[in-house]
Amino acid sequence: MPNKFTPQQFLNRELGQLEFNRRVLAQAEDSRIPLLERLKYLCICSSNLDEFFEIRVAGLMEQIKLGGIATGADGMTAQQTLKRVREQAHQLIEHQYQLFNTEITPALASQGIKFLRRTHWNEAQHAWMKDYFIREVMPVLTPIGLDPAHPFPRVLNKSLNFAVELQGKDAFGRNSTRAIVQAPRVLPRTILLPPEVSGCEYGFVFLSSILHAHVGELFSGMEVLGCFQFRVTRNSNLFVDEEEVKNLRLSLQGELPQRHFGDAVRLEIADNCSPQIEALLLKEFKLTPDDLYRVHGPVNLVRLMEIPGLVARDDLKFPAFVPGVPGVLQKKGADMFKVIRKSDILLHHPYQSFKPVIDFIQQAASDPAVVAIKQTVYRTGADSALMEALIAAAQRGKEVTVVVELLARFDEEANINWANRLEEVGAHVVYGVVGHKTHAKMLMVVRREDGKLKRYVHLGTGNYHPRTARLYTDFGLFTSNEDICADANEVFSQLTSLGKVRELNHLWQSPFSLHTEVLRAIKNETQLAKSGKRGHIIAKMNALLEPDTIAALYDASQAGVKVDLIVRGVCALRPGVAGLSENIKVRSIIGRFLEHTRIFYFRNDLQHNVYLASADWMDRNFFRRIEVCFPVLDKKLKKRVIDEGLKAYLQDNCQAWDMDGDGQYRHKQPRLAARKCAQSELLGQLAGTTTS
């Protein structure tokens, strides 16, 4: 069969992303999940949709605005995709609020956790709310009347605002009938009341309810006819011409403030908003009725994410756990370098602790024998023990080199701040390669031992971020293997210096060899199958979109190769289609932890090649990013990756969603006695003693 496939054999990326959010929202519907965790899933879905509109929908609208008619691998134009996206997004958001109002809120109320609506406040609650408004809210508000001297204010991306309809004359005799009130971001969106006032253990009131009830205080002597909350989502893509800039950091610092005021892409309003205000807002933000989302409840459900942290009800949350530590590192003050010299160490987060990574760099920072430390930084957070250790190392006179990715979406400001602090203490700070995001996760320590320099490396599938290491599944590998260390050193040299690409010993690297090697490995399985041998590919990743890779997998399937794909998010491949992909299965795992590991397994005639990577199988990862994919060479660790990272997920019948050839997903529903949940089993195997 020719190696050419039609657009009908690929699925649309944006629609696939909405399907992923349906799976997340299904977690909020699942009564078997602890109640406060269900609320979190509802918030996560909202957060995901915010980014979806800020980036993906914004990109479609920009493409249409510029007159682009290009199509993706699926053959759909931006106009066609946007039409489908709007239809499905409206359905998804409507379902989300229905779930919040008819299931989550009543269930929380039955547990003494209530959202107090202003229409149900008693006299004591009214008094408390008014006092709170006068003390905490009114002093920081700046209501803006709309008239020729007061044009419509600039509205921040995703901020809470109120459109107010008024009647009467103000102090200057003006007949202004409309005003905008912007809620400063310093104000909490949900306020916890004292139990004696709320009448329940945990009584919350929305800031929007307090402002609605007292908005008249802001417009003395005038009659308030209506007050309607709204929120606008804006294009948050940063536009930095990397070919023109002389200093990427300075250019980015100039661009970041404008992110909050990009073109509007979505307008959310209260469902009781008047037609006049609706028309005013649509006109102001240059949007169409298709971009309007009427919601019954808070316009920003993401802000409810703080509720579980304010409620001391462990019975309504996932059981707490202590991440495990490999036996070789359990001894207090264990010499990391001595342990790694003896054998490679594999960490499986979050089931195993991220602390050994912090210990490794802190030991390196204080060890007199360490002469140099090199690290890539993509996302590390505003508060990072790792970064503080790098700063301490530089202060102690060690050669510290940090490759900071300034264009890590939504982490740009934190990364700029770290870059500034590192430079202040004499560290070498570089920003990778213009036009290619540095997404590789690498940490290298150079130590003088017995008169010679010895290298130690940590490579990972996830970011150097202690907080997300408790929430995301990832693998990290410590090794002193000379070939792998030499490869890592070569990649660091590419990032900081100039020169031609050199062939690496073991690492596959984007944008040079990763795509070629993945295709070669897939085609090798295809050839083995054609020669009568058994071919098997198992790949786990966040997204599968790159057309040539998908085409190679189709070829492999037709040759008889068994292909098992575990793709958390978007998958453009159609599995199980007769004559095309009947030997391919695709599943998505949605559970307590965000599945983030990238694992590639090729049977290779019983050699069982296993690779871990920072990259998904997407165009951007293959061609527009610096990525590394590294082999697991130790046989015991290789078996661990296969068992923990692949087999456990293929056997999961509890949190797995199986995908069909039309891109639809079916949730596995096992018998109670036959339940197999990969994440729960791995917690049992690898985590330490529970704290609950």
Residues annotated as catalytic are 439
Collapsed DSSP state (helix, strand, coil) of residue 611: strand
- Residue 483 in contact with residue 505, Cβ under 8 Å? yes
320 touches 691 (CB < 8 A): yes
Q: What are phi and psi of 447, to 5 degrees?
A: -130, 140
Instruction: Provide the 10 A C-beta neighbour count for residue 380.
Output: 24
* 8 Å CB contact between 619 and 545: yes
Show the 3-state SS of 189-220. Answer: CEEEECHHHHCCCEEEEEHHHHHHHHHHHHCC
Tell me how far apart the alpha carbons of residues 46 and 96 are, in angstroms, rounded to a whole number: 9
Handedness of CA 191, 192, 194, 195 (dihedral sign): positive
The type of residue at 54 is E
425, 503 Cβ separation under 8 angstroms: no
Classified as helix, coil or strand, 432 is coil
For residue 415, the one-letter residue type is N
Distance CA 355, CA 34 (A): 28
Q: Is 640:615 a contact under the CB 8 Å cutoff?
A: no
Greatest CA separation for the chain: 91
Q: Please choose, from the candidates 406, 415, 458, the residue with its C-alpha nearest in 3D space to the C-alpha of residue 433.
A: 406
The DSSP bridge pattern shows strands 202-206 and 113-115 to be parallel
Q: One-letter amino acid identity for 178?
A: R
> For residues 257 and 198, what is the distance between their CA atoms, to the nearest angstrom?
40
Q: DSSP state, 221?
A: T
